[in-house]
Amino acid sequence: MPFNHFSRLSLGVAVAALSVSALAQTAPTGTRYGSFGIDLTAADKAVKPGDDFWTYANGSWNKRTEIAADRTSAGGSVILADQAEQQVRTILDDAARDPAAVGPGAKQFGDLYASFMDEAAIERAGAAPLKPYFAKIDAAGDKQKLQVLFSTVGYASPVEVGQLPDPADPKRYAVAAGQGSLGMGGRDYYLEQGPKYDTFRTAYRAYVEKMLTLSGIADASAKADRIVALETAMAKVQWSPVQSRDLKAMLKPMDAAGRKALAPEFDWPLLLSTAGYGNFPTVYMTNSTALTELGKIFAATPVSTWQDWMKFNLAVANSGVLPKAFDQATFDFYGKTLADQPQQRARWKRGIALVNGTMGEAVGEVYVKRHYPPESEAKMGELIANLRAAYKERITANGWMDPATKTQALAKLAAFDPRIGHPVKYIDYASLNVVRGDPVGNAMRSGEFQHRLDLSRLGKPVDRTLWGMTPQTVNAYYDPLNNQITFPAAILQPPYFDPKADAAVNYGAIGAIIGHEMGHGFDDQGSQFSASGKFENWWTPEARAAFTQRTAALSKQYDAYEPIPGVHVKGALTLGENIGDLGGVETAYAAYQKYQADHGKAPVIGGLTGDQRFFLAYAQAWQAKLREGAARARLLTDPHSPPFYRVNGIVRNVDAWYTAFGVKPGDALYLAPAQRVHIW
Residue placing its CB nearer to Zn ion in the complex, 10 or 301: 10
> What is the closest distance, in whole angstroms, from the C-beta atom of residue 210 to Zn ion in the complex?
37
Residue placing its CB nearer to Zn ion in the complex, 262 or 626: 626
In this structure, the number of other CB atoms found within 10 A of the CB of residue 607 comes to 7
> What is the closest distance, in whole angstroms, from the C-beta atom of residue 317 to Zn ion in the complex?
28
> What is the closest distance, in whole angstroms, from the C-beta atom of residue 33 to Zn ion in the complex?
23
Residue placing its CB nearer to Zn ion in the complex, 268 or 496: 496
Task: Using alpha carbons only, give the angle 18, 21, 24 rounded to the nearest 5 degrees.
Answer: 85
> At 487, which helix (H) or strand (E)?
strand 484-488
Residue placing its CB nearer to Zn ion in the complex, 80 or 91: 80
Rounded Cα–Cα distance for residues 612 and 584 (Å): 17
C-alpha separations of 618 from 70, 329, 511 in Å:
27, 40, 9
> 388-397: long-range contacts (C-beta < 8 A, 24 or more apart)?
388/413, 388/414, 388/416, 388/518, 389/591, 389/594, 390/515, 390/587, 390/588, 390/590, 390/591, 390/594, 391/515, 391/518, 391/583, 391/587, 391/680, 393/590, 394/586, 394/587, 394/590, 394/680, 395/680
Of the candidate spans 8-16, 82-90, 215-223, 467-475, the one that interacts with Zn ion by CB under 5 A turns out to be: 8-16
Of the candidate spans 6-14, 91-99, 130-138, 522-530, the one that interacts with Zn ion by CB under 5 A turns out to be: 6-14
User: Is 215 an interacting residue with respect to Zn ion (CB under 5 A)?
Assistant: no
C-alpha separations of 628 from 299, 339, 484, 633, 663 in Å:
39, 7, 34, 9, 31
Of the candidate spans 108-116, 262-270, 552-560, 578-586, the one that interacts with Zn ion by CB under 5 A turns out to be: 578-586
Of the candidate spans 23-31, 181-189, 331-339, 570-578, the one that interacts with Zn ion by CB under 5 A turns out to be: 570-578
Closest CA to 271 of 155, 157, 151, 176: 151
Residues in Cβ contact with 149 at an 8 Å cutoff, skipping those fewer than 6 apart: 136, 137, 140, 155, 157, 310
Residue placing its CB nearer to Zn ion in the complex, 10 or 286: 10
Judged by CB under 5 A, how many residues of this single chain contact Zn ion?
Answer: 4
> What is the closest distance, in whole angstroms, from the C-beta atom of residue 298 to Zn ion in the complex?
35
Of the candidate spans 7-15, 59-67, 300-308, 567-575, the one that interacts with Zn ion by CB under 5 A turns out to be: 7-15
Residue placing its CB nearer to Zn ion in the complex, 577 or 667: 577
Overall size of the chain counted in residues: 680
**Mind spelling out the 3-state secondary structure of 262-278?**
HCCCCCHHHHHHHHCCC
Residue placing its CB nearer to Zn ion in the complex, 159 or 413: 413
Of the candidate spans 11-19, 179-187, 388-396, 486-494, the one that interacts with Zn ion by CB under 5 A turns out to be: 11-19
Rounded Cα–Cα distance for residues 354 and 122 (Å): 16
Residue placing its CB nearer to Zn ion in the complex, 15 or 505: 15
User: Is 10 an interacting residue with respect to Zn ion (CB under 5 A)?
Assistant: yes
| Interface positions, 418-477, toward Zn ion (CB under 5 A) | none
User: Is 574 an interacting residue with respect to Zn ion (CB under 5 A)?
Assistant: no
| Interface positions, 13-42, toward Zn ion (CB under 5 A) | 15
> What is the closest distance, in whole angstroms, from the C-beta atom of residue 42 to Zn ion in the complex?
24
The binding site for Zn ion (CB under 5 A) comprises: 10, 15, 577, 580
